[in-house]
Structure 1
Amino acid sequence: MSGDVAANLATVRNKIGEAAERSGRTAEAVRLVLVTKTVAAERVRQAVRAGQIDLGENKVQEGRRKADGLAGETIRWSMIGHLQSNKVKDVLRFAAEVQSLDRLSLATALEKRLQHLGQGLDVLVQVNTSNEASKYGLAPDEVPAFLKALQAFDALRPRGFMTLARFTPDVAEVRRCFRVLRSIRDKAVLDAPQGAALAGLSMGMSGDYEVAIEEGATIVRVGQAVFGPRPLPDSYYWPDLAMTAGGS
């Protein structure tokens, strides 16, 4: 992999387009959220200057610092990692979207702060499609009741779902995870109160985003394929969240 961020970004975009074509869609049907965790702001700026607008962060404090460091650039930040309710005030200072809504207590905290600010927020419901205890997210059978409960939150705009496939070289198992989320989405669009607004599918990271697109992803979360491998594993940076980060 080249160390040239702009070149790597172009390669990823080309692969997104090719995978979208294989799934009968255009490249424009898939939104790339570039994951910037552990990447210095100036290196991220290279991607922004190459036309990348959507950026994603896993940790609130790092996201705030990076947003401050990139102030003045045209950027839309997404929170893609597990979000603690006591960090809601901070996350809303930079994020326009939260992809990791996984419990009503978090919805309540977000709603309270958003009402205070007079703002709305796009959210994705995180689902644990791999049934791993190490991952956050609702169990698939919990989703319908959760979507009904979300009707009570006026400031939250549910736009679909997010998942992390099982980390495995078994492509069939990875596809299974993505197909579970697509099935949940398809059913929700027909049956849930929010209906067609739930069309979004955020799934796929650096190692599996092409497979995710083939299975219907409308959002992919890619970092290392553009910025290169991190110097140390995720477990070094976040030992309590080694397998729960929202994108890579």
Structure 2
Amino acid sequence: MTREELERRVTLVRQELEEAANGRYPVPKLIAVTKTHSAEEILPLAEMGITEIGENRVQELLTKLPALRDSFRIHLIGRLQRNKVKQIVGDVCMIQSVDSEPLAMEIHNRALAAGKRMPVLVEISPAGEEQKGGVPFEETEAFLKKIAPLEGLEIRGLMAVMPLTEDREYLDGLFARTRELFDRLKDRNLSGAAMEELSMGMSGDYQLAAAHGATMVRVGSAIFGPRG
């Protein structure tokens, strides 16, 4: 892809996010999802004002880290195995996929050992898809209360991955339900569990996410184009 095409795609996504938010909510932060893309493909984004990227796999992230760490804040957005936490806790700005107590405890321990608190989001499961992980809606508050005392964590909000479907009405309902949960938890003002960030929306549905008040969207193929 040429630089001009990449810039055109980034500009279009930003315009669509602004239109979807429509003044009702702030325009969400655009996090470019960079899995499967080389550092050479990713680096031009920095000159287009994209400062944060999302990587799904620890091993891939580690290979690209030396080239990217000075240009971007990096989010770990994929499912994370406990034995991989120690490899990334000092290099990512946020872990967006915390969905179990053992994982939360491992991040807590590794962060404390590194002398830091790790910003995290709790991943929830809007559609109850077991293969995607995520805390069930009805268990989210209880889960937050269990992990909130862990001093190595800085809980910043929620993350959600919506199902792959063409049913826009169904998706709209899931986004609305997720926003309602976020607002309800924010109103509860749970100690140690700030509700500042709501990360939801990907290339197929980021406009719906913006319309329902996402604070971050994670966009890959709409920026880089589909893989051959």
TM-score range, shorter chain: over 0.9
Q: 3-state DSSP class of the match of 2:7?
A: helix
Tell me the amino acid that sits aligned with residue 95 of structure 2: V
Partner of residue 242, structure 1 = none
Mapped pair 1:10 → 2:11: yes
Q: 3-state DSSP class of the match of 2:87?
A: helix
Provide the TM-score with structure 2 as the length reference: 0.94
The 3 A distance-change label for structure 1 pair 69 and 142 is: same
Q: 3-state DSSP class of the match of 2:65?
A: helix
User: 2: distance between equivalents of 1:113 and 1:229?
Assistant: 36
Query: 1:211-241 CA deviation, whole Å, 9 max, x = no partner?
Result: 111111111000111101023xxxxxxxxxx
Partner of residue 67, structure 1 = 65
Q: CA-atom RMSD, angstroms?
A: 1.7
Query: 1:157-179 CA deviation, whole Å, 9 max, x = no partner?
Result: 11111111121100011112212
User: 1: distance between equivalents of 2:31 and 2:191?
Assistant: 24
Query: 1:108-133 CA deviation, whole Å, 9 max, x = no partner?
Result: 10011111111111111100111122
Provide the TM-score with structure 1 as the length reference: 0.86
Partner of residue 114, structure 1 = 111
Partner of residue 30, structure 2 = 32
User: 2: distance between equivalents of 1:20 and 1:200?
Assistant: 15
* Structure 2: tracts of 5 or more residues without a match: none
Query: 1:1-49 CA deviation, whole Å, 9 max, x = no partner?
Result: 987212211111111111122x51343xx11111000011111011112
Aligned length: 227
* Structure 1: tracts of 5 or more residues without a match: 232-248
- Structural mapping, 1:33-112, within 5 Å: 33-73=31-71, 75-112=72-109
Q: 3-state DSSP class of the match of 2:132?
A: coil
Mapped pair 1:142 → 2:142: no
The 3 A distance-change label for structure 1 pair 134 and 205 is: same
Partner of residue 186, structure 2 = 189
Deviation at 1:94, TM superposition (A): 2.0
The 3 A distance-change label for structure 1 pair 92 and 223 is: same
Mapped pair 1:205 → 2:202: yes
* Bigger shift: residues 177-186 or 220-229: 177-186
Partner of residue 157, structure 1 = 154
- Greater share of residues in strand: 2
User: 2: distance between equivalents of 1:204 and 1:64?
Assistant: 25
> Are the equivalent residues in 2 in contact too, given 1:126–1:138 (CA < 8 A)?
yes
Q: 3-state DSSP class of the match of 2:227?
A: coil
Q: 3-state DSSP class of the match of 2:43?
A: helix
Partner of residue 127, structure 2 = 130
Query: 1:145-191 CA deviation, whole Å, 9 max, x = no partner?
Result: 11111222012111111111121100011112212211211111122
Deviation at 1:192, TM superposition (A): 4.8
Q: 3-state DSSP class of the match of 1:199?
A: strand
Deviation at 1:71, TM superposition (A): 4.0
Deviation at 1:196, TM superposition (A): 8.0
Deviation at 1:72, TM superposition (A): 3.0
> Are the equivalent residues in 2 in contact too, given 1:129–1:164 (CA < 8 A)?
yes
